[in-house]
């Protein structure tokens, strides 16, 4: 697909690049940093020029000379044009260093004076370009930046390739971009220096397209619209931006089943080729563009007798893909299908849909085409669409059901029963299930503008509240209106009080109020014979009581699981199955918890319940993490986070769990960033419950990162929040041991013991065996800090065994690590008149256990401790090995960078906050290490901890 030069993306700032391009940008930058060259390649509009500009801006400062050229198709026939762009401004600087023959040939080629050609002056020109680059490099590093290599004139391309292959160790690097389809970049790679890294830019994900559109200011677009933009653009950022611009500028949005408005700028990319089709072939392609899964058989059934020949003609023009297998007819790019459909007159579209309404084999597809072929209201068509929506819902396709439901409402006469608004509300509820909250909210608010029936109004208010997610404070004004509309109807009141229970928990942070509202909702629902709402309310009450450590929790769980059950509630993330899972996992029944959540996950995937899938993936990740399967937990947590971001639901909760998984089995810097992201989500939503969870994840990540002082700050705040929430069960957040251990490390064993004692009272009352074992591990460290080494050794040995028997693999490994460090410490600092503790002072057991868990961050700590040896292990209360006032001797920028490292910021985050490059951050840290006599970021954190506790 050809993109005209005047339709390329305009120059933009760096933020566009990092949207979906972080990893490849880092790889390219590291390659340039090593002195190598980079070739960016990919299809038209994929963002090559944008990445090229950003890399140039980021790296150009390291080069003394930057040579640039940017070719165009219209100028590609002019010989030596790119060469003139590159060397025109530096010719005077290098001409004196060239032999006379080379100088004459180069000047003739660049200025147009004379008639220099490759045929006549080939060798002299080739050597002149090579000599010119070497002369420039003798003065300092050279960066050659060339965009759109495919349009380089043949003479310039030949000369550059000749020089590139012969530069050797000369400090000349090339940063180039070329348009390719598939992997067709070998020819350009052969014309690049031997050390060139080829980087292919692929399509953006739906989440990345959403971020790009948001960055450009197209924020009013709903997620369902963004899904359509992503599908139509194929993830191409240029096409996505053009579609987003057309939608943002359009006064009306397309209705369900209607295509996106394809702007003229994009239609022009494909219409020229469409004009080369015969009229009959174009009609055949129009049928294919309207079908959901077009095949030759479908085209024949729709009346296209010569479909084989006509699709072959389209494939020869590049409009259809030719490499695919199977019977499907697939367009070379989704944009071709969209532009073809958008260009067709309305009467032709209706005729195509009428043909497909009988040709399609699937009843859902037949109903959709019938609706799109029909104008005005038609009760028979509406009924068929409603039946198709129910079938889609049963198949686990709630998004399709919502679309069909809206089509049904459009064709439903106003005086029908059920009426159009009732069908719209069903569509809104399907949209909620599918994770399309913004679509659901828009439908509900539209219904509220005219609905007068209390049941419809309350039902619409419930959709508005559900669509708010965790940000219930944003819809505070809805509750009084919903209560007024509910009147004294117990069924309607039960719906409102169920949502008030959630408000009490999320907005007010009051577990007692939430429990009371849930119990009231359950009683109202039972009176109104609404079993679904009754079960949802009982499930919520059970979960709340479990988190509170309330003695009634087991009995309420049993009530929620009592027959008759509702299939929807049974597998909902706030339903009875979920309440039972929470009870199991907090009661240390990990195998049964895993089996329960796995079955629930399978069912919600079958039903297409996106929000429940997000949460159940997170629950399963949590179970695997507790079991010590860190690699599996990391995969599940990342999947949950990807799905949450894609759907725009549960992002904070998924980021929180992903942080825990990254800190245990992945990247600690990413763990810190995710925990802060989760905390930000909770703060913005006013969600006190998840704020405490996010801060607990942050504290854990800070501990793993070697920042005990930061962990103490975060976890002390968690303690305050949970005390205010009324949460007494230490198995809920499991942060108490981490806080106690961090307090020991910063020299506060007394406070650590207080934390342990308080948590132990509740853990003993509730029978939380794994929590008790972790608290005992923390207490062993308190005793070791007080010099009670034998007691600490006995306690740690017992703890390791207990955690192993309970199935908590990661906690078992942490106990083994603490035991090894205790033995190493006593070897380095033996007791007065005594001997080192019995047992081998070896880290082998801890390393084995962490390796079994795939707990890579912890394993790196073990390796570092083992490499340092016993002499490097300090008592817990000892001061760090550098002077406590050393930071005061740093320059201002160095102090700023060091302070942000102490807060756990990554190099990239530091660069963004201080408005400097990552390279500057790295150089500054190198100076900090040298001045302080330390070796790593961890040492800076230890220094900070020493300053705060002295």
Please give the pLDDT value at position 114.
52
DSSP 3-state of 535:
helix
The alpha carbon dihedral of 877, 878, 880, 885 has a sign of: positive
Please give the pLDDT value at position 186.
67
Which strand ranges, in their side-by-side order, compose the sheet holding 38-42? 65-70, 142-147, 172-179, 38-42, 197-200
Check: CB of residue 816 under 8 Å from CB of residue 845.
yes
Paired tokens of 787 = 């010099």
Q: What is the distance between the alpha carbons of residues 781 and 825, in angstroms, rounded to a whole number?
A: 12
Check: CB of residue 501 under 8 Å from CB of residue 514.
yes
**Average per-residue pLDDT in the chain?**
84
Paired tokens of 114 = 């004379």
Q: Which of 423, 416, 398, 407 is nearest to 371 (CA)?
A: 407
What pTM does this model have?
0.67
> Residue holding tokens 């390659």?
31
**Window from 268-272, 495-499, 898-902 with minimum mean pLDDT:** 268-272
Helix (H) or strand (E) holding 633: helix 630-647
Paired tokens of 138 = 């003798």
Q: What is the distance between the alpha carbons of residues 399 and 413, in angstroms, rounded to a whole number?
A: 24
Share of the chain above pLDDT 70, in %: 87
Q: How confident is the model at residue 896 (pLDDT cuts 50, 70, 90)?
A: confident
Q: What is the distance between the alpha carbons of residues 584 and 591, in angstroms, rounded to a whole number?
A: 9
- The mean pLDDT of 99-121, rounded to a whole number, is 71
Tens digit of pLDDT for each residue in 826-856? 765 555 444 455 554 578 999 999 999 999 9
DSSP 363-417: HHHHHHHHHHH--S--HHHHHHHHHHHHHHHHTT-HHHHHHHHHHHHHTS-TT-S
Please give the pLDDT value at position 813.
95
The alpha carbon dihedral of 796, 802, 804, 806 has a sign of: negative
Check: CB of residue 876 under 8 Å from CB of residue 785.
yes
Rounded to an integer, what is the distance from CA 536 to the centroid of its chain?
30
Tens digit of pLDDT for each residue in 594-629? 999 999 999 999 888 888 899 999 999 999 999 999
Tens digit of pLDDT for each residue in 633-663? 999 999 999 888 877 778 888 999 999 999 9
Q: What is the distance between the alpha carbons of residues 724 and 512, in angstroms, rounded to a whole number?
A: 11
Q: Which of 16, 17, 36 is nearest to 28 (CA)?
A: 36
The alpha carbon dihedral of 664, 669, 673, 679 has a sign of: positive
- The mean pLDDT of 188-195, rounded to a whole number, is 77
The secondary structure of residue 469, as a DSSP letter, is T
* HEC assignment per residue over 146-166: EECHHHCCHHHHHHHHHHHCC
**Window from 467-471, 575-579, 613-617, 770-774 with minimum mean pLDDT:** 467-471
Alpha-helical regions (H) of 807-917: 809-828, 844-853, 856-868, 892-902, 907-914
Check: CB of residue 715 under 8 Å from CB of residue 695.
yes
Q: What is the distance between the alpha carbons of residues 97 and 122, in angstroms, rounded to a whole number?
A: 19
Residue 887 clears pLDDT 70, i.e. is over it: no
**Window from 99-103, 224-228, 676-680 with minimum mean pLDDT:** 224-228
Q: Specify the higher pLDDT residue, 585 or 881.
A: 585
Q: CA 838 → CA 780, 821, 834, distances in Å?
A: 16, 13, 11
- Long-range pairs, 774-778, Cβ under 8 A, ≥24: 774/734, 774/736, 774/737, 774/799, 774/803, 774/811, 775/730, 775/736, 775/737, 775/740, 776/802, 777/737, 777/741, 777/811, 777/814, 777/815, 777/818, 778/736, 778/737, 778/740, 778/741, 778/744, 778/752
Please give the pLDDT value at position 942.
61
- The mean pLDDT of 894-917, rounded to a whole number, is 72
Q: How confident is the model at residue 874 (pLDDT cuts 50, 70, 90)?
A: very low
Q: Which of 475, 483, 525, 530 is nearest to 502 (CA)?
A: 475
**Window from 64-73, 265-274, 846-855 with minimum mean pLDDT:** 265-274
Please give the pLDDT value at position 872.
47
Neighbours of 263 (CB within 10 A): 19
Q: Specify the higher pLDDT residue, 479 or 889.
A: 479
Paired tokens of 888 = 């005061």
Q: What is the distance between the alpha carbons of residues 25 and 36, in angstroms, rounded to a whole number?
A: 14
Tens digit of pLDDT for each residue in 355-401? 999 998 888 889 989 988 998 899 999 999 999 999 988 888 888 89
Please give the pLDDT value at position 18.
62
Neighbours of 462 (CB within 10 A): 23
**Window from 81-85, 320-324, 487-491 with minimum mean pLDDT:** 320-324
Paired tokens of 17 = 């690049």
Q: How confident is the model at residue 889 (pLDDT cuts 50, 70, 90)?
A: low
* Helix orientation angle between 576-586 and 531-548, rounded to the nearest 10 degrees: 20
Q: How confident is the model at residue 527 (pLDDT cuts 50, 70, 90)?
A: very high
Residue 251: left (phi > 0), alpha (psi -120 to 50), or beta? alpha
* HEC assignment per residue over 905-929: CCHHHHHHHHCCCHHHHHHHHHHHH
Please give the pLDDT value at position 550.
84
Please give the pLDDT value at position 13.
39
> Rg for the chain (alpha carbons), in Å?
33
Please give the pLDDT value at position 704.
94
Please give the pLDDT value at position 646.
75
* Helix orientation angle between 420-433 and 379-394, rounded to the nearest 10 degrees: 20
Q: What is the distance between the alpha carbons of residues 785 and 877, in angstroms, rounded to a whole number?
A: 7
Contacts of 819 (CB under 8 A, 6+ apart): 793, 796, 797, 800, 839, 845, 846
C-alpha angle with apex 451: 448 to 454, nearest 5 degrees?
100
Tens digit of pLDDT for each residue in 706-722? 999 999 999 999 998 88
Burial class (CB in 10 A: 0-12, 13-18, 19+), 268: middle
Please give the pLDDT value at position 914.
65
Q: Specify the higher pLDDT residue, 669 or 13.
A: 669
> Residue holding tokens 């695997």?
624
- The mean pLDDT of 455-483, rounded to a whole number, is 90
Q: How confident is the model at residue 121 (pLDDT cuts 50, 70, 90)?
A: low
Tens digit of pLDDT for each residue in 311-351? 988 888 888 876 555 567 888 888 888 888 888 888 999 99
- The mean pLDDT of 544-563, rounded to a whole number, is 86
- The mean pLDDT of 273-284, rounded to a whole number, is 85
CA atoms within 13 A on the CB side of 383: 5
């Amino acid at each position: 697909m050809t993109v005209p030069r005047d339709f390329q993306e305009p120059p933009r700032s760096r933020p566009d690049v990092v949207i979906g391009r972080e990893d490849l940008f880092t790889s390219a930058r590291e390659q340039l940093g090593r002195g190598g060259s980079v070739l960016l390649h990919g299809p038209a509009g994929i963002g090559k020029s944008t990445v090229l500009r950003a890399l140039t801006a980021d790296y150009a400062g390291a080069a003394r000379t930057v040579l640039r050229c940017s070719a165009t198709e219209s100028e590609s026939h002019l010989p030596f044009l790119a060469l003139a762009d590159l060397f025109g401004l530096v010719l005077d600087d290098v001409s004196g260093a060239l032999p006379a023959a080379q100088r004459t040939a180069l000047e003739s080629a660049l200025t147009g004076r004379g008639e220099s050609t490759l045929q006549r002056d080939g060798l002299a020109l080739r050597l002149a370009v090579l000599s010119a680059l070497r002369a420039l490099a003798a003065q300092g590093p050279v960066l050659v930046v060339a965009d759109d290599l495919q349009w380089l004139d043949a003479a310039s391309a030949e000369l550059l390739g000749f020089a590139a292959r012969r530069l050797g160790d000369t400090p000349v690097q090339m940063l180039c971009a070329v348009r390719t389809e598939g992997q067709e970049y070998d020819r350009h790679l052969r014309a690049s220096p031997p050390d060139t890294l080829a980087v292919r830019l692929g399509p953006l994900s739906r989440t990345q397209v959403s971020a790009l559109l948001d960055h450009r200011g197209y924020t009013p677009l709903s997620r369902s619209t963004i899904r359509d933009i992503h599908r139509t653009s194929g993830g191409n950022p240029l096409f996505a931006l053009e579609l987003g611009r057309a939608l943002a500028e359009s006064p009306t949005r397309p209705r369900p089943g209607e295509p996106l408005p394809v702007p003229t700028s994009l239609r022009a990319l494909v219409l020229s080729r469409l004009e080369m089709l015969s009229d009959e072939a174009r009609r055949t392609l129009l049928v294919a563009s309207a079908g959901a899964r077009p095949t030759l058989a479908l085209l024949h059934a729709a009346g296209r007798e010569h479909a084989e020949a006509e699709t072959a003609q389209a494939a020869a023009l590049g409009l259809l893909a030719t490499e695919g297998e199977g019977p499907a007819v697939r367009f070379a790019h989704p944009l071709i299908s969209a532009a073809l459909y958008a260009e067709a007159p309305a009467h032709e579209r209706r005729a195509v849909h009428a043909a497909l309404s009988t040709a399609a084999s699937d009843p859902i597809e037949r109903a959709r085409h019938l609706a799109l072929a029909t104008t005005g209201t038609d009760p028979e068509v509406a009924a068929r669409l409603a039946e198709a929506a129910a079938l889609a819902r049963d198949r686990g396709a709630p998004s399709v059901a919502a679309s069909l439901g809206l089509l049904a409402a459009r064709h439903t006469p106003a005086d029908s029963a059920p009426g159009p608004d009732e069908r719209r509300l069903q569509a809104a509820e399907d949209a909620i299930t599918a994770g399309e909250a913004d679509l659901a909210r828009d439908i509900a608010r539209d219904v509220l503008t005219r609905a007068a029936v209390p049941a419809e109004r309350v039902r619409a208010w419930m959709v508005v509240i559900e669509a708010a997610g965790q940000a219930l404070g944003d819809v505070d004004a809805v509750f009084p209106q919903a209560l007024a509309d509910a009147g004294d109807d117990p069924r309607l009141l039960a719906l409102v009080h169920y949502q008030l229970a959630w408000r009490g928990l999320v907005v007010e942070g009051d577990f007692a109020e939430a429990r009371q509202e849930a119990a009231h909702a359950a009683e109202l629902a039972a009176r109104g014979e609404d079993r679904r709402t009754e079960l949802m309310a009982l499930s919520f009450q059970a979960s709340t009581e479990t988190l509170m450590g309330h003695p009634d929790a087991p009995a309420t769980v049993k009530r929620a699981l009592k027959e008759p059950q509702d299939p929807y509630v049974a597998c909902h993330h706030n339903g009875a199955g979920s309440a039972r899972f929470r009870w199991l996992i907090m009661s240390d029944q990990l195998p049964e918890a895993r089996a329960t959540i796995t079955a629930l996950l399978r069912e919600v995937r079958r039903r297409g319940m996106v929000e429940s899938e997000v949460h159940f993936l997170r629950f399963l990740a949590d179970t695997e993490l507790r079991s010590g399967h860190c690699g599996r937990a990391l995969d599940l947590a990342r999947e949950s986070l990807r799905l949450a971001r894609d759907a725009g639901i549960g992002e904070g909760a998924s980021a929180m769990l992903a942080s825990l998984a990254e800190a245990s089995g992945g990247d600690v810097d990413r763990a810190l960033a995710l925990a802060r992201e989760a905390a930000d989500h909770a703060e913005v939503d006013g969600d006190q419950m998840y704020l405490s969870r996010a801060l607990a994840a942050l504290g854990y990540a800070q501990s793993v990162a070697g920042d005990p002082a930061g962990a103490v700050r975060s976890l002390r705040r968690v303690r305050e929040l949970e005390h205010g929430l009324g949460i007494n069960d230490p198995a809920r957040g499991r942060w108490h041991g981490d806080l106690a251990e961090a307090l020991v490390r910063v020299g506060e064993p007394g406070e650590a013991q207080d934390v342990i004692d308080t948590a132990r009272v509740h853990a003993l009352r509730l029978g939380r065996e794994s929590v008790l074992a972790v608290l005992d591990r923390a207490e062993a460290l308190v005793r070791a800090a007080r010099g009670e080494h034998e007691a600490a050794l006995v306690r740690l040995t017992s703890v390791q065994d207990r955690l192993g028997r309970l199935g908590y693999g990661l906690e078992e490994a942490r106990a083994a690590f603490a035991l090894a460090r205790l033995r190493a410490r006593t070897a380095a600092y033996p007791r007065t008149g005594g001997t080192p503790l019995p047992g081998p002072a070896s880290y082998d057991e801890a390393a084995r256990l962490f390796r079994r868990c795939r707990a890579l961050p912890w394993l790196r700590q073990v390796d570092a401790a083992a490499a340092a040896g016993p002499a490097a292990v300090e008592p817990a209360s000892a001061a760090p090995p550098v002077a406590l006032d050393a930071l005061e001797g740093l320059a201002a920028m160095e102090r700023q960078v060091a302070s942000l490292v102490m807060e756990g910021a990554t190099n990239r985050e530091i660069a963004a906050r201080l408005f400097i490059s990552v390279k500057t951050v790295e150089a500054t840290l190198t100076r900090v290490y040298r001045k302080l006599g330390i070796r790593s970021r961890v040492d800076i954190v230890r220094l900070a901890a020493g300053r705060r506790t002295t």
